[in-house]
Amino acid sequence: MMPFAWLLSLVLPACGAEGASGLPVPAPMDLARIERPATPNTALAGPEGMNPPPDLTVPEQNRSADALFAAARAVFGAQPRTFVAAEYPASRQIHYVVRSALWNFPDLVTVEADPAGPDRATLVVWSRSVYGHSDLGANRKRVETWLEALRNAGARSFEGDFDRERELPSRSHE
């Protein structure tokens, strides 16, 4: 751990931990009922028509939810400074803690593959900061990078392009 992270941990304790430690183990989530914060420090990728609307639209995939989950799990788990915090294979859901390189800030990423018909599946990726009001676009960049890595992992890992042009929704403390 960098000395900066140790110093920062005096105020933000999870910055002093390593891997997925320092944060509570996440419980399974109902990603169909995400309540996004008013702060601009999250990024959500998912199928069109999802509520809340995703920042990035991920096309439906021509493979089973189990196969999509296995591919996503392998690719996403291999990303730098990414640690499994909890996994729920029965619901094809996994939670990661991703740490920033310099300050060791923890971000949370939840991934789920859902059936959309016979040999069809959708993918939801929700990345969010533990600390701070703004993330300077780090969560959105992460989701884009992870989806690109999944697409580049092989022809059967991920099909189609995700909508990168969608603007981040305006969220405020009204």
* Phi, psi values for residue 170, rounded to 5°: -80, 120
The predicted pLDDT at position 72 comes to 97
Q: Is the pLDDT of residue 81 over 90?
A: yes
The predicted pLDDT at position 174 comes to 34
Domains for the chain: give ranges and CATH numbers: 3-14+41-152 (3.30.530.20)
Q: Is the pLDDT of residue 94 over 60?
A: yes
pTM of the model: 0.86
Mean pLDDT of 60-74: 96
Q: Is the pLDDT of residue 76 over 50?
A: yes
List pLDDT tens digits, range 100-125.
988 888 999 999 999 999 899 999 99
- Helix 65-77 and helix 138-152, axial crossing angle in degrees, nearest 10: 120
Per cent of the chain over pLDDT 70 is 80
The predicted pLDDT at position 47 comes to 96
Q: Is the pLDDT of residue 167 over 60?
A: no
